[in-house]
Each structure stands twice: as C-alpha cells, then as structure tokens.
Chains A and B, each alone.
Chain A
Amino acid sequence: MIKQVIAFLFILSTAVQPICAQELGAHVVIKQMTNEVEIISSKESHQRESYTVEIRSNEHKYANYFLYFPYSEGNNKINKLTCRVYDANGRELLRLKKKDFQDNARYDNISLITDARALYYHIPKYRTPYTMEISVESTQKYAMNYSWYPVVMEKCALQNASYTLIAPADMKMNISTQHVAQATAKQENGTQLFQWSIKDFDAIQRRFALETKMTSLLPFVRVVPDKFQYDDTEGAFSSWASFGQWIYALGSDSRELPADAQNEIRDLVDDTMSLEDKICTLYSYMQDRTRYVSIQLGIGGWKPFTAAFVHEKQYGDCKALSNYMQAILAVADIPSYYTIISAGAENDGSTTRDFPNNSFNHAVLLVPVDQDTILLECTSQTSPCGFQSRFTDNRLALMIDDGHSKLIKTRGFDEAQNFRRDSAVLQIDAEGSANIELKRLSSGILADNFHLMDAAEKEKVNRFSQSVTFGQFDTESYESKICPAGAFDVDMEETAIISSQNFITKSGNRLFVPLQALQEIAFPELPDSIRHSFSIDRGFSQQIALSVKIPAGYQVENIELEKNIESRFGEYSRTVETNSNGNLHINRSYTAKKGMFDVQDYTDYKSFTRDVKIAEGENIVLIGPQ
C-alpha cells in the first residue's frame, strides 16, 4: 500500500527535456505531423492525418484545441479517430477512440442554424509536459479547397510536418504557399502527387495589438481545384471570373419578385428623383422590410434564398438580403452587383489578386453611381445608405457579374475622413463643479455606431458616457442625429449638456483641470519589445476645442502653452490660449498616421506614445485667492 501511495505522489515527476531554439516560449510543440489527402474525384476525397504534439502549457486551451475536430454535417464524415496520451516518461495515460468523443453543434454566435458540428474531447489536466499522438481519417464529399495550415495558433512551434496531396492526373490544381517551400511533384499511375514539408518553425508570439497579423505569419499551403463540384453544380477557380460565374449561377434564378412587390417598389420612385435618392429610398424600403436571420444548411451556405422568399418572410442572411436588394433595384432599373467579401474589423488579407479561391464570409451589394460605386450593407436596419464601416473597408471583394465577375477594392478611409471633432464650452465654479456644453461630430470609422439609433435612450446615454472623458458626470440633455456629409456620406452629430462634480479636483486654493477632457487619446498596451513588424491600418484624427470659463479670481498657474509632438506614427499638438477676460481656449489634436513599420521602429513608437501620454496627463492648474 505504501508503495502505491508513493507511486501516486511521485511517479508523475517531470523529466526535463531539451528545448530547441524555435521552441522557446512555445506552449505547444508539434513534433511530427503528416497529412495526406487523396482526391478521388470532385465529389470524394479522403484525408489521413496524424500528429504528435507535446503540450507544455497548463493553459488547457492548447491541449483541447488538438482534440477538437470540426466537420460539416452531410458533407464531411470523420471515420476514424484515435488519440493516445503519454507522460514525460513515455507511460500511456489515455487512449481514446471516436466513440469517446462528444458530437456537438458548433456555434458561430450569429446563425439560427448551420451544418457545423464538431467532435471533441475534454482532456484531463495532465501534468505537463505530455505528448498526444492523434490520428484522424475522414471523408469529404464536396471540397472547394484542399488547403493545409499546419500551425494555426500562437505559441505553437513545429519541428517536422509534411503534406501529401494525391489527385487524379487530369485534375488541375491551383496552389499558393506561405512560409512553406515549393512542393515536390510527380505523376504516377494516373495520379499526380504533391508533397510539401516544413521543419523547425518558430512559435509565433505576438504581444502587441498592432503587430503583424497571424494570417501573414502562419505557414500554409492553399490548394484549390481548378474545377469543383458542389451538390449538382459545377464551378471553377481558373479565374476570379470563373468562380464569380458559379456564384452568379447559384443566384440567377432567385431574383424575380412577385408582381405586387414590383408594383410597390415602382410606386416608391419616379423619374424626378436623383439616382442617389432612388437608391436610398429603396435601401430604406429593404431595411424597413427585413431583418437578418442566418440559416446555413447545405448549398444554402452559398445559394441565397430567393428574393420572393425574402419578400414574403421578410428575413434572410447576407446573401439573401443582398440578392433581394439587387432584385429591388432591378425593378427600378438600377443596375447593381452582388458582391462577396471577407468581412471583419480587421482585413485578414486572405483575398489576393493572383489566387482565385473562396476566402469570403459575407455578401454585400455594389451599386455603380456616376463614376464611382457604393456598397450597400443589407444586413443592418440602421446603417445609413452607402455607409461603409470597418467591417468591409479597404479590401478586395469579388463583384459578381454574369461573365465578367472581377475583384474590386472597397473604399478605404484615411485620417482626414476618420475623425472625431469636439467643440465644447466648459464652465467651472470655485468649488470645482464643472459643466460642459458639447457638440461632437464623428465621421468615417469613428462614426460607426449607427446601430444605436434604434437603441433605448438610456442605453444611448450610457454608451455616450463611456465615450466621454469627464469624470463621472450627469447628463442634462443628449441628442444624436445622422447628418448628410456629401453623396452617400454621413456624419454622426451628438450634442450634450453634462455636469461633473469630480472631473476637476480642488486642492486648497487650486483647481486642477485635466487636459485630457472629452476624448481620451489612447494607445494599445505596450510590451517591452516585439518580434514582428507592426502597422497602423487606419489613420484617424481626434480634435478637441475647449473654451474654459474659469471662476472669478482664478488664473492659470502652470501650463506649457504649446506642445507639438511629431513622428512617423502620428502628430500631437496642444495649445492653450488666454483671452482678455482670463478665459482659456484649449485646442488638442491627435492624428494617427496609417503606415507599416519595422520592428526597429518600435522603440520610437513607444517613445512617441509616452510623450503624448505625458502631455495628455497634465493638468491646467488654476490658482485662486487664498
């Protein structure tokens, strides 16, 4: 018995293993990975994957990731799944088969229902390091890519991995790689065989929010078949036009609206209206009539619901609603183009001109207007007509046009267009109570909160209070409205009267007025050092003009009247002027400049942000009578 207890207490002691250079800081090391995909035809492929992973981190997400196997019901089948877990001394701790895994629905937090499911096993918290040997065999019906991403997470090092792709000799493959050497290729027995390998890949460690995106750092092999099949449809990735044609065909029979709908739409517009008015009237009609409901089942993940269905049910996903809007515009003889895009607050750069593939997750509608085009976001009930947010800005998208589909670049915004301008009058009394009348104009990505237009007033005020630096304040009045700012451009205007008892600090006969009023000039958290280049993807500017009415008998004791800080990353300036009646005018402005920067620039960036923070951290000190 004693032996058993001692075994319990000490047998799991950790053996220290040598760590290679590329594994420094790694929480996971993929020791060996082999992946083999055999394509039988455009509607059948088999995948065999095995890997040996050493788990070094006690953070359980790393181990659990490798025991999570997503699949799509009806299209993929995981036939065989085994996992063995060994401790540092090579003793087997766990042996799993497919039946030991749970089979659960996978959620995207957006959709009502999808085909997405996953097998997963929640592994016990073994003492690290331990090793997992995993083997998976799966079958896939339709595939639009046979890509390989051996490393998909940070802090994961890789020692040795290979990918073998076997395809019928007559099946043309389009290939693109990143951080992986060229394939060896050969043909035998009516098949073509490609093989890639990668060795000693360093664990990626990003510690800074502006550091190079993971998608640019990861190794991958992207493989798409020149021709593919999905259900009973056939498509091709031979060009963007050919892929676009497949998308076009999926929706080609879906744009007919019922006669009564057509009549209703025609009644909304007439020839006296400008093109902009017509588009916006019909966009508003679509917004008022529909709501976003995502249902992604089978080919429905690609094929939009018909316009008639959306008109009747008054809901649909991005595809269905964009298709519906296209049908509406068509009734008014306004041409438009269904457009697919990789949406998200960060442009992941996955769509490139030279590699037609499916890298899209969203649909919008592109409408030619004069010499320009606008994008209509059809999933929002509150987005202004033509307003483009950071969700779809400044990236490549595929415009679908019968026979002529092509990539287009969506509109980007620069620092002149992304701005927030505050002008305010601050009144202070001798006890430090402060009162502000504020007018705020926000534009571009800084105006991107139109979804609040339908929100409850309390929520609007609470959200507004979070965006204003003025201590804890009470709002006497608050109004927001959308203001036209040119064709298909809008600004958000907010006006408020607010008062605060604790923004200004009274110490003895001094009043301390924080310079950082109304808008905070904020920067991402700064680690000591970074490993990768970094970028400011969107420039923007903040301007605050504050007139300060100071209490009688008080005067400014101590403030540097002018401060300018310039760098490649941005510019900061501050002026404090006193007018004849002793009141102050404070102007602060900050512009973040869009740009890409090397690792070596990081020291300068830290220095710049530190200087700005120091400048912004100052107080205007008003000294009054004793």
Chain B
Amino acid sequence: MRGSLWPHSSGHKWQPISVTSPLASWLGRNVLPLEGEVRGWLRRHGSDVHSADDIIQEAYCRIGAVADLEQIQNARAYFYTTVRNILIERRRREKIVQFDGTAEIESLYVLDESPSVERVLDGRRQYELVCKLIEGLPIRCREVFVMRKVHQLTQRQTAERLGITENIVEKEVARGLKLLLATMADASAAREIGGETV
C-alpha cells in the first residue's frame, strides 16, 4: 500500500528547521498527543522509561526525515510502525533476549489496520489541550506561557509585562517545556488531558 512511505532504518540527513516549521506543527498535532498511548504500548512490550525515551526520540527523528508528511494518511499507524521498527532493531542489536518475537510485536499490525479513527486533534481539541497544559503549570511559569503563547508576546514584551528579566522568562520557558513534555510522556496524564482521542 503506502510501502515507500513507511519508515526505514536507513540513514537520513538531519535538516535544521526553524522553530515553528510545518514539520513541528504536524508533529505537535499528530504525534505528540499520541505519545502517552505509544509509551504505554512500549511499556507493555518490556521497555523501561529510559529506553522508551530513546525510542520515542529516535522515532521523532525518523518521522522528521520523511519528505512529505502530508502523504501520511494515518499518523497513528505511522507512529506505531516507526516505534515498532526501532524496537525490533534495538532488540536484535542488543540480543538481550531470544527474540521470538515477531509474534508479539506483529500483533501491532492488527491495531494498525483498525478503522482509521480521526486521531488528529482538531482546532477545538488542540485549544482545550493547550489550556489544560498551561493551567497545570506552576504559577510563574504559567504567567510566562500565557504571555508567550496565549497572547503571543515576545520574550522582551513578556519580561516587561511581568516585570522580570528576559533571562528569567527564558528559564521559565525551559522549565515549562520540561514539565509539559513530561506530562505528554505520561500515559495516564496524557489520556486525562487529551480525553478519549488520545
């Protein structure tokens, strides 16, 4: 079917992208909200948190190397398949267990072929998700994210409005991003935040 589009383990070239590229936007809408679910799957297949982090990061990297993301019909299946391939490669490389495996991991394909539920977050769900995420941040952090993201102010404007230095704004952005990325990585938290779609 979409054979040529499925992720391969072949090498690819890293292309630096601007911070808010269409790629980042696509990943934010299609991949990030599924992470909790995919990490849950990884856990059930014996990955610890640390290796799950590695696998997810590698998956982002591979998906990021796909030339035409708009061609991907089912982002969820694509994400799962990428993760599954990385998992199999790692197991082979590590040779930790006698990997009899395909049986167990093949079961994933059943999941892939399931009728394609609309998994992309529409504008409304994105908005709700973002509200929940920002609302969950500690107070100073939340103020910074409300200015930067809800009001779309620059770092300098944010610093002026809040009466803090730009350096503090930058540090709060980093802190908030770490918290939010951790939230998205937590399967149960992500499910609660994303509702039934995630």
Do A and B come from the same complex? no
Give the interface of A toward B (CB within 8 A): none
